[in-house]
Structure 1
């Protein structure tokens, strides 16, 4: 059985998502962060570590893009099977995906990837057609998508990066994916109108939503090297929580211009760091003031930004719900395919 360390120096490993690639073991913090290989052989294992017991960090395994396993990473270091008993002569793409979003209340929680063990060998990975970055909130973290309708638990088990619209769209487009999303966070403030919890503040850091000594040791606060991975398309799905914060304070008329200005300024930050990308703002639902995002995009265009688009997804209803009034995996599948078709046309 062969064993190799997991390192960004290995050209036969594809590392997806924002993480400090200079450090080992590699830390998967953002949801959707992945390690991908082209594997020819029968059995492939990954040596993983969860530094803390709670919150539980879940991962999924894909074989040629199809989910084949999902499990929690336990405290301590041990090997987990990714694929077993495969036809040894066949070659397939195997992807290990972090299913759980960053947890700022416990920044020590992560998934560390130490090594791979295999009966077989690694081959050169086929190139993907596109690179797509997603910036969002709980809807992009897949919160509640795996839960039964009406469930009210806020637990990592129900989060998913693979039952999420971003995964479905990227699979349809054969695209690499990078996700930055945080439940409850917004552009100007969070769902409780707290301005400390914004994706704007931390967009230019590796994983700056995680703070404290454990996160700093993993390089979460380091400036992100945008040159290392330039997306072709960036999809932003934010402002739902900004509107929620305004509802909390009953301050819509007072704050609406601040939100429009803040969203336009966020587009400028994204554009500055990704000069060639097409940027798509996925509008909030029709009951969450999508006009604010449309006004922000129009303002940014007037101020000189180009290659900006908006896209409206169909609203989700009671039959589409998972946990805590969030859409389920089937809704995510449907809208992911709609998004993929739109992205083909821009």
Structure 2
């Protein structure tokens, strides 16, 4: 946990000056959309050495998702149920582990509780597709806007080889709040429409990438709807670089804090997803 204010942090010192050091600074917590004052900003870097070019990774992967993709519950005891940032991890989740296995540079766009259509508590504006075209569009406040948030993202400057979407868990929760079966059917159709529209948007800005809708770590309630939406999209567009992949379900042995996937669940998901992505990359 960082102390509020502006100050220097010593990353390393007293090491062999003849050896190249690889340093990575990671913000473990997702963008906190409800807290405009939450900000980690690097103002300057100082060193008595020189900076070398960073070696290019073999691939680029973009991950889009909810609390699972944010790594909520990936660290912390199983008994922990408090909703606090301490239980998030951007290092021990399936995104980072998959990227490491593939030697890939990666980016994450995720928000706990949000979906492709609605949030877990049925809020229609709490969906990732609505903010996909913006730079850090999930943030709020004038300070973040002054730092460049909400501007239109330059997708051409960073084209991923693969876009992995892990959404649907919270949409399913929103639909389960409806007691009437007819309303649930209407909501399911609306969810499928949202999935299809998001696939179109992703393809619009990522012309040649593989799109993988990966889902299932906290149940597969929405899997039939995801398959229907994907099949409809493929039939409508002829896109042959879009697939659905079922992630392994979290068990009592692999669950983490807040009843979310723990590190073991993320490790297993990363292993299986890596195999699938390797197959796609070989196919070009």
Q: TM-score range by the shorter chain?
A: over 0.9
Alignment partner, residue 295 of structure 1? 228
SS in 1 for 2:6: strand
Alignment partner, residue 18 of structure 2? 89
Contact between 2:161 and 2:210, CA under 8 Å: does it hold in 1?
yes
Deviation at 1:84, TM superposition (A): 3.2
Find the aligned partners of 2:208 and 2:176 in 1 and give their Cα distance: 36
TM-score by length of 1: 0.77
Deviation at 1:99, TM superposition (A): 0.8
Contact between 2:34 and 2:140, CA under 8 Å: does it hold in 1?
no
Alignment partner, residue 256 of structure 2? 322
Find the aligned partners of 1:124 and 1:97 in 2 and give their Cα distance: 19
Contact between 2:216 and 2:248, CA under 8 Å: does it hold in 1?
no
Alignment partner, residue 244 of structure 2? 310
Alignment partner, residue 44 of structure 2? 115
Alignment partner, residue 47 of structure 1? none
Deviation at 1:302, TM superposition (A): 0.8
Range that drifts further, 119-128 or 134-143: 119-128
- In the alignment, does 2:105 pair up with 1:176? yes
- In the alignment, does 2:194 pair up with 1:194? no
Deviation at 1:330, TM superposition (A): 2.1
Query: How far does the alpha carbon of each residue in 1:66-96 deviate from its partner, in whole angstroms, 9 at most, with x for none?
Result: xxxxxx2321111112233333221132111
Deviation at 1:183, TM superposition (A): 0.3
Between Structure 1 and Structure 2, how many residues are aligned? 275
- In the alignment, does 2:129 pair up with 1:210? no
Find the aligned partners of 1:212 and 1:309 in 2 and give their Cα distance: 37
SS in 1 for 2:8: strand
- In the alignment, does 2:186 pair up with 1:257? no
Flag structure 1 segments of 5+ consecutive residues without an equivalent: 1-71
Alignment partner, residue 33 of structure 1? none
Alignment partner, residue 269 of structure 1? 201
SS in 1 for 2:165: strand
Equivalent of residue 332 in structure 1, options 266, 270, 276 = 266
Range that drifts further, 113-122 or 310-319: 113-122
Contact between 1:238 and 1:284, CA under 8 Å: does it hold in 2?
no
Query: How far does the alpha carbon of each residue in 1:257-277 deviate from its partner, in whole angstroms, 9 at most, with x for none?
Result: 111111011000010011111
Find the aligned partners of 1:179 and 1:281 in 2 and give their Cα distance: 14
Alignment partner, residue 279 of structure 1? 211
Contact between 1:283 and 1:290, CA under 8 Å: does it hold in 2?
yes
Find the aligned partners of 2:206 and 2:51 in 1 and give their Cα distance: 32
Alignment of 1:152-167 (within 5 A): 152-167=81-96
- In the alignment, does 2:170 pair up with 1:236? no
Flag structure 2 segments of 5+ consecutive residues without an equivalent: none
Find the aligned partners of 2:272 and 2:201 in 1 and give their Cα distance: 27
Contact between 1:73 and 1:111, CA under 8 Å: does it hold in 2?
no
Query: How far does the alpha carbon of each residue in 1:124-168 deviate from its partner, in whole angstroms, 9 at most, with x for none?
Result: 221110010000000000011101012101111110100110000
SS in 2 for 1:94: coil
Alignment of 1:11-160 (within 5 A): 72-160=1-89
SS in 2 for 1:123: coil
SS in 2 for 1:280: strand
Equivalent of residue 176 in structure 2, options 222, 237, 247 = 247
Query: How far does the alpha carbon of each residue in 1:208-247 deviate from its partner, in whole angstroms, 9 at most, with x for none?
Result: 1112212211221111111111111000000111001001
Alignment partner, residue 45 of structure 1? none
- C-alpha change, 1:284 and 1:252, in structure 2 (3 Å) is farther
> Which structure carries more helix by proportion?
2
SS in 1 for 2:22: strand
Alignment partner, residue 342 of structure 1? 276
Deviation at 1:323, TM superposition (A): 1.6
Q: Name the Cα RMSD after superposition.
A: 1.4
